[in-house]
Structure 1
Amino acid sequence: MSRPSPMDYRVSDIPGHMCSHVTLAFVTINSETFEMESSMSTYVNNTGLYQEFTSIKKRYSHIKTLISVGGWEYGHSVFSTMVRRSSSRRKFVKSAVRWMRQYGFDGLDISWQYPGTMVRGGSQGDKENFVLVMKELRAEFEKYDFMLTTTIPIDPMLLKTGFNVAALSRYVDWFNVFTHDLRGTWTGYTDVHSPLRRRCFDRGQYAALNAEDGLNRLVKLGAPKKKLMLGIPFYGRSYTLQDPRRHSLAAPTRRDVHAVPGPFVMSDEILAYYEVDFVLEKDYGGVMVFNVDMDDFKGACGVKNPLLNAICRKFNEGRLIDPRIG
């Protein structure tokens, strides 16, 4: 939404006929009051944006709107401090309810990346305290029929240090499963950053770091399959090759040089095709895209929103999408 024209993204660009739920990301938590507050300083009128966002329900009566708090760039020590004491958790819960009632949101998404991660401001008690705040949010949300969701990683270490999956499952409507950025420039070779399955060249820590193994891991930890929404990223990662003549998958790359912008190609929406097939075959709850504004929403290369269209077509081949569920 904050990109310069002509690629700025507006609420009116959201293809509501292809969505059951839309989430506005992100807001933050005030470090002194522990209340939700806007982090969208680039927007002239945040209040107007929130109300405009939830007004999408006037055009698409089936849609539910959520607001997400947190995100990768947010200072996560505030999350850790907030969940530590019942008094600060209570302040946060009350402010969340107030936000949703004031602006007309239907639910809240918690995007804490990630509890228990010391290098990102976490602490040892985060895993247990995260469950407490989710339990308290759920208890209050029941009064208003609000939805509660959270993002969750598939990395084994992040899950071990920060997520009691079985306990969280009791309080969330669903999990938004992060399967993006599993690979990048740090790996030293070109790769898809959100692999669906294990490949022959995956070794070491990357052998089981893929969507299929990750979802299996979450199920074993106690997550109901119907509460798992597979994340599909609408963006890719670029690399700087060591040798331009070697440009296939797993080609050596330079770690000391940031990748530079370049031309892109489209491959007939194959990524979405296989991932949706997988969700239907394994009977998971659905998919979550990150982010809808990264699709070709202007139709510069042909049809508008080609990736989201591919997902919806595949879902409709397998079953009808009921907008009342994820």
Structure 2
Amino acid sequence: MSKTVFLIVFLSFVISITNADRRIVCYYGSWAAYRHGLGEFVTADIDPTLCTHIIYTFVGISQDGSVTILDSWLDLPNGRDGFEKFTSLRELSPETKLMIAIGGWNEGSQTFSEVAADPYVRAQFVQNVITFLKEYNFDGFDVDWEYPNQRGGQPADKENFVILLKELREEFNKHGYVLSAAVGAAEMSASQSYLISEMSQYPHFINLMTYDFHGSWESSAEINAPLYASSGEFGAETELNVNSAVKYWLEQGAPANKLVVGVPAYGRSFTLANPSYNTVGSPTIGPGLPGPYTQASGMLGYNEICEYVKQGWTVRRDLEQGVPYAFKGNQWVGYDDTISVEEKTKYAMSMGLGGIMMWSIDTDDFRGTCGEKYPLLNTINRVLKGYIPSPTSTTTKEPNSGATTAESSTTTPSSTTTPSSLTPVCTHEGYVRDPNDCSIFYYCQETNGKYLANKFYCPYDLVFDPTIDNCNYKYDVPDC
């Protein structure tokens, strides 16, 4: 990003920092409870104060319009009682909306297509959703149909999806429920699936899945979720980035304040054909090796990546695309870190969008193994709200993946605000680095003729770079 564009984005951030309407939408993959070791993530690990909306995933859909529970042992009282533990989070953060999503990649498209095409079954589905939300005490419902008119769907899905959302919203209005939709973001997919100007009328907000633009299904090492296109890309390749997707949805009539930009708390990984060729675009021979927690080829959670970086993986940044990548030997991953998440959040604000969504919070560094707990989610909060919410602490006993009982606790650090008389480092509004410690910086805000300083810490081994008003790697900051 050029310094001029960055300045525009930064000024927009300063102007809009008190806007309380921005959403921070947090997807929670409930199956993370089955992960081992430090990767195991249970409901007690969620800090609800860091999200305006949290979406539990997933439930399924049946051909008769029923809402189906996919893992009764995980979700219901006869097992781990996940639904109840999840909705009980409102005791810690009453303002946070606790929702549930239907669908996802594994659900596919065919059953959605059949239900949406039949007016009677569709009406039954709407009523079944209402009954489900009441029974399990959720605040809202996220429709994650991947994707209309694709993967077993039919052309009429585009119109039927609009009707389905309309009928859901009309019924939701009677009960005060929140309706959202998760959608394919890139033009090449969205143009096949959505009548954007029509479908956008009905959800309260729309979660753009602005990730998985690239992955190990390709034969070269590419970035999972670039912010901008690379100068080396041509044709349809130039659509595979956040900026192009957002502009397409806006051009097609989506209201800006309904669009929520997705950021991934994971990367897409590759095995390099030759370890000596390790830049973006280098040849690959398949997916990267599974990480210790997610155990999936071709992807690594941010909590896995940050540990690899601490262990010596080399990190580089693609300045054109606004994102980092890391490599060691023949293993390579393109991902998002606190720097790129901050830039994407500022981008969303500069475009007047409705907020930021994360898929998914269970692969952020939620334990703080590499430094701060929830570094990616905290970055979003700091940019959108101007602060990190006050800590919450929950200690609950919940069965782990074995037969014993484990105690889990969650705490979240907050920023420190002190008057300017105690922080003479503030001489103007904006960011400033601590003169004695490059890893500490402040956001100085003038109030009644005095400066208030919000104190922040760069995550593991990063230092504050005043040339970009952001944390950066030490080798890129000569005076540190």
Considering the TM-score relative to the shorter chain, is it more than 0.5?
A: yes
Q: Residue 309 of structure 1 aligns with which residue?
A: 378
User: Secondary structure in 1 aligned to 2:287?
Assistant: coil
Counterpart among 58, 71, 82 of residue 40 in structure 1: 71
Residue 121 of structure 2 corresponds to which residue in structure 1?
88
2:90 to 39, 57, 81: 57
Q: Is the radius of gyration larger for structure 1 or structure 2?
A: 2
What secondary structure sits across from 1:188 in the alignment? coil
Q: Is the 8 A contact 1:34 1:82 kept in 2?
A: yes
Question: How many Å apart are 1:259 and its aligned residue?
Answer: 2.1
Corresponding residue number in structure 1 for 2:148: 115
User: Cα deviation per residue 1:149-181 (whole Å; 9 max; x = unaligned)?
Assistant: 101112223222211111111111010001111
Deviations 1:195-230 (A, max 9, x none): 111111222321122111110100111101000000
User: Does the 8 A contact of 2:65 with 2:125 survive in 1?
Assistant: yes
Does residue 188 (structure 1) correspond to residue 219 (structure 2)? The answer is yes
Per-residue CA deviations over 1:87-128 (Å, capped at 9, x if unaligned) read: 1101110110011111111111000000001xx110121000
Cα 1:170/1:65, change in 2 over 3 Å:
same
Q: Which residue is equivalent to 1:265? A: 309
Report the Cα distance in structure 1 between the residues aligned to 2:385 and 2:102, rounded to whole angstroms: 31
1:23 corresponds, among 55, 61, 75, to 55
Q: Which amino acid aligns with 1:171?
A: Y
CA distance in 2 between counterparts of 1:9 and 1:225 reads: 33
Determine if contact 2:257/2:354 at 8 Å carries over to the other structure: yes
Matching residue of 1:216: 247
Note the residue ranges of structure 2 that are not aligned, 5 or more in a row. 1-31, 292-304, 316-336, 390-480
Is the counterpart of residue 12 in structure 1 residue 44 in structure 2?
A: yes
Q: Which residue of 2 aligns with 1:274?
A: 343
- Aligned pair count? 315
Q: Which one of 169, 193, 198 corresponds to residue 138 of structure 1?
A: 169
Question: Residue 246 of structure 1 corresponds to which residue in structure 2?
Answer: 277
Identity of aligned residues (%): 31
Query: 1:299 offset after TM fit, Å?
Result: 1.4
* Cα 1:187–1:4 shift into 2, 3 Å: closer
Aligned residue number for residue 99 of structure 2? 66
CA distance in 1, matches of 2:290, 2:164: 42
Tell me, yes or no, if the aligned pair for 1:40 and 1:46 is still in contact at 8 Å. no
Q: Does 1:296 align with 2:365?
A: yes
Coordinate RMSD, CA, aligned: 2.0
1:142 partner letter: N
Aligned pair partner of 1:124 in 151, 155, 167: 155
Deviates more, 1:128-137 or 1:259-268: 259-268
Task: Name the SS of the counterpart of 1:219 in structure 2.
Answer: helix
Listed one character per residue, the Cα deviations across residues 266-300 of structure 1 (whole Å, up to 9, x for unaligned) are 77621211101111211111000000001111111
* Runs of at least 5 residues in structure 1 that lack an aligned partner in the other structure: 321-326
Partner residue of 2:230 out of 163, 176, 199 = 199
Tell me if structure 2 keeps the 8 A contact 1:38–1:46: no
Separation in 1 of the partners of 2:71 and 2:265?
22
Following TM superposition, by how much is the alpha carbon of 1:72 offset from its aligned partner in structure 2, in angstroms? Answer: 0.3
SS of residue matched to 2:74:
coil
Paired amino acid for 2:168: L
Q: Which residue of 2 aligns with 1:323?
A: none
Q: How far did residue 319 of structure 1 move?
A: 12
> In the aligned structure 1, how far is the partner of 2:142 from the partner of 2:154?
21
Q: Secondary structure at the match of 1:129?
A: helix
How many Å separate the matches in 1 of 2:387 and 2:368?
26
In structure 1, distance between residues paired with 2:123 and 2:284: 49
Mapped to 2, the partners of 1:196 and 1:43 lie a distance apart of 36
TM-score, normalisation: structure 1: 0.91
**Aligned-pair distance for 1:189?**
1.6
Q: Distance in 1 between matches of 2:377 and 2:146?
A: 26
1:77 paired residue among 105, 110, 133:
110
Q: Is the 8 A contact 1:280 1:318 kept in 2?
A: no
Report which of the two has the higher share of strand. Answer: 2
SS at match of 1:237: strand
Structure 2 length as normaliser, TM-score? Answer: 0.63
